[in-house]
Every structure is written in structure tokens, then in C-alpha cells.
Amino acid sequence: MSGNTLGTVFAVTTFGESHGPAIGCVIDGCPPGLPLETADIQRELDRRRPGTSRHVTQRQEADQVEILSGWFEGRTTGTPIALLIRNTDQRSKDYGNIAQSFRPAHADYTYWHKYGVRDYRGGGRSSARLTAPLVAAGAVAKLWLRQQHGIEVRGYMAALGDIDIPFDDWAHVADNPFFAPNAALVPQLEAAMDALRRDGDSIGARINVVASGVPVGWGEPVFDRLDADLAHALMGINAVKGVEIGAGFDSIRQRGSEHGDELTPDGFASNRAGGVLGGISSGQDIVASLAIKPTSSIRTPRRSIDVDGKPSTVETFGRHDPCVGIRATPIAEAMVALVLIDHALRHRAQCGDVEVATPRIPSQA
């Protein structure tokens, strides 16, 4: 109800603020018996950790995760899995100058009005730091999806500002701090970020996520369609302003005879649907794309007001990512994985484990 839980069967409730003692989450509904080690979670957390290159915030959060429950002798037990990450590098003093003013494009203003009280130390609950518990929960989801269904959920940066990054190969993604799938573009991305940092400004990005191996039949028919729940989860990531599935906004200009993916005995002939038909997975790759706005906390002075409505000027000197999109890839993957595992379990709740009909069609040509 109050918006801190994602999912219905595999339900992840997060807690914490950027400058409180700790952040974390409780996963309720994880299937029992899943082999799981702390390292499986830590590996994903390390992918989105700050301070790993000069292009991201220089905060040094260890982001060490501790499994508090739901785990026994190397396996999940079916009871709630609580994951705890202590906050260690909180320089609250950096934020003193914005305690009384609202950063433009930031949640300061809306939180203050909603709750009548605001944790003004950093982003508080609205901080992108709160994506860490999501990545941790997503790591558990990914393990199950891979183990049970051979599903891989992978993302990459498809554009940084006006630099489009053509997909070359998944192999490149882990080799650069941008999660760019194209090694040739990396120098250009680095130069762009260096220039931006000198300007004290920020920029947006596009992230694509692909889930392969998803069986046909996951998703609900009217409201909680697989694509609707993906849109909900992805639009719920900090700074996301748009979500596309498959052909996305290009569909507007397409004719039905062009857009509709034909079926053949060897599988679908194309995938403009992005792997979802009528809200239910078709067996093809699930393809989602998201638009991330530029970071709101920038060094460039901006007009604002204070809590009394008086004009003020805001410059943010905290250690912020000049492009939140750079660390967004593992977060977007986690969100897709969380939606998929939840729909997998929802599907078997109503329709059972056993496939109700054997798909006779290879899902991907």
C-alpha cells in the first residue's frame, strides 16, 4: 500500500535511507531449496557499487551484504530472506546547504509536502542508493531463473546523451564502466563524461534489457500484464522517464502488416512485440528499453525556493553521479529479473507447474 514492496509472490520490501544506519530488504516468497551463497549476491552488488571508476560518484560504500534469515546450510528455506547493508560512508555535512532549500528536479519538494517531514541528509529514501537492496534481491531472482529455466537477464547502455551505442557483443559489457556493448565507442563515452564533469553538469542515458529463455505463458491477461509490470518496475527506478517494450514508440508509425510478427513452424519470424503478446510472454526474448533523465544534483547553480517559499540558489557539492545511467544497467536487470520470477510463481499458482500445453514452436528462429 505504501509503495515499498515489489511483487506479489516473490515480494521484496525494502527499507532504509541514504544516511541512516542501514539499508536492506526482506524477500518473502522465495522458493525453498535454492542453492545460495552470500557471494552470489555480493557479485551483483559490486557491479553497481559506487566509486569504481572516475565516471561515477566517488563515495566509498563497501555495500557488504549480510543474510539475516531464510537461509540454512547453503540453501533458501522458504522463509523470509532479510538482507542487510550497513551504511558506512555518510558525509551528512555535505548536504547542510540544502536542508532548507529544494533541489530542482529532486524529490525534496514532494517528500516535504507529502510527509510534512523530510530527512534532508542526502536523498533520504529517494536516494539512488536504495537501488542496492533491489540489486541484491534481483541476484536471488536471477539465480532461480537460471537454475529453473535457463533464463538469462542481461542489460547494456544503448545511448549516453546523444551518443548512440550500437550493440556489438555481450562480451564487451563487463569490460568498461559504462556497460557499453561496443568497445569501439568507449573512448568517446569517456571523453564525453570528462567534459561533462568539467562543466558541472549531468546527462541522460538509454538502457536496454533482454531476457532470453523465458517460456511462453508468463504474465496476466488484463492489468498485471508482463509488459505492464515491467513498465511499473522499470519506471520505478530512480530517474526513469520512459519505458518501451519491443518496437516501443516506433510502433506508432508502423503498419499492422509490418509490425505483427508472423509465426512459422520454425518460430516467430521477427520480434517487434518484444516477447510479449496480450500481456503474456510469447517465448521470444523479452526486450525492454528505458530512458534515464540527467542527474538532478549538479554543481551548476540553479534557481529554487526554500521551505518558506523564498527564492534561493542551489548548487550541489555532494559526490553525485554525473550520469545515473552509468550504474543503471545492473539495476534494470534486477528489476526485470524480479518481475519475471514473480510472474513465474504467479503463473504456477493458477496454472500449475506442469506446462498446460507443450509449446510446439521453437520460440526464437
The answer to whether 77 is a known ligand-binding residue is no
Smallest gap from Cβ 66 to a second copy, in A, equals 7
- Residue 112 grid cell: 516535504
Of 20 and 177, the one with the shorter C-beta distance to a second copy is 20
Of 85 and 171, the one with the shorter C-beta distance to a second copy is 85
Of 4 and 58, the one with the shorter C-beta distance to a second copy is 4
Smallest gap from Cβ 82 to a second copy, in A, equals 4
The answer to whether 93 is a known ligand-binding residue is no
The answer to whether 311 is a known ligand-binding residue is no
- Residue 197 grid cell: 564533469
Report the C-alpha gap between 220 and 238 in whole angstroms: 26
Of 1 and 171, the one with the shorter C-beta distance to a second copy is 1
The answer to whether 346 is a known ligand-binding residue is no
Smallest gap from Cβ 211 to a second copy, in A, equals 16
Of 139 and 226, the one with the shorter C-beta distance to a second copy is 226
Please enumerate in sequence order all residues whose Cβ is within 8 A of that of 198, keeping only pairs 6 or more positions apart, or say none.
none
Q: Residues 325, 330, 331, 336: what is their CA dihedral angle, to the nearest 10 degrees?
A: 120
The answer to whether 238 is a known ligand-binding residue is yes
Contact 279, 228 (CB under 8 A): yes
Please enumerate in sequence order all residues whose Cβ is within 8 A of that of 33, keeping only pairs 6 or more positions apart, or say none.
75, 76, 78
The answer to whether 304 is a known ligand-binding residue is no
Smallest gap from Cβ 121 to a second copy, in A, equals 8
Of 58 and 300, the one with the shorter C-beta distance to a second copy is 300
Q: Which long-range contacts (CB under 8 A, 24 or more apart) does 222-226 make?
A: 222/279, 224/279, 224/346, 225/276, 225/278, 225/279, 225/280, 226/276, 226/279, 226/280, 226/281, 226/286, 226/339, 226/343
Report the C-alpha gap between 182 and 353 in whole angstroms: 39
Contact 64, 42 (CB under 8 A): yes
The answer to whether 297 is a known ligand-binding residue is yes
156 by DSSP, 3-state: which? strand
Smallest gap from Cβ 160 to a second copy, in A, equals 8
State the sign of the Cα–Cα–Cα–Cα dihedral 242, 170, 61, 191: negative
Q: Residues 112, 117, 121, 123: what is their CA dihedral angle, to the nearest 10 degrees?
A: -40
The answer to whether 21 is a known ligand-binding residue is no
In Å, what is the CA distance from 212 to each residue of 111, 230, 288, 336? 38, 15, 12, 11
Of 109 and 167, the one with the shorter C-beta distance to a second copy is 109
For strand 22-28 and strand 5-6, is the pairing parallel, antiparallel, or unpaired? unpaired
The answer to whether 293 is a known ligand-binding residue is yes
Smallest gap from Cβ 138 to a second copy, in A, equals 13
- Residue 278 grid cell: 496480450
Smallest gap from Cβ 344 to a second copy, in A, equals 9
Of 122 and 171, the one with the shorter C-beta distance to a second copy is 122
Smallest gap from Cβ 128 to a second copy, in A, equals 11
The answer to whether 295 is a known ligand-binding residue is yes
Smallest gap from Cβ 359 to a second copy, in A, equals 6
Of 171 and 356, the one with the shorter C-beta distance to a second copy is 356
The answer to whether 272 is a known ligand-binding residue is no
State which amino acid sits at residue 144.
W
| Residues tagged in the binding site annotation for NADP(+) | 48, 54
Residues belonging to the binding site are 48, 54, 125-127, 238-239, 278, 293-297, 319
- Binding annotation for FMN: 125-127, 238-239, 278, 293-297, 319
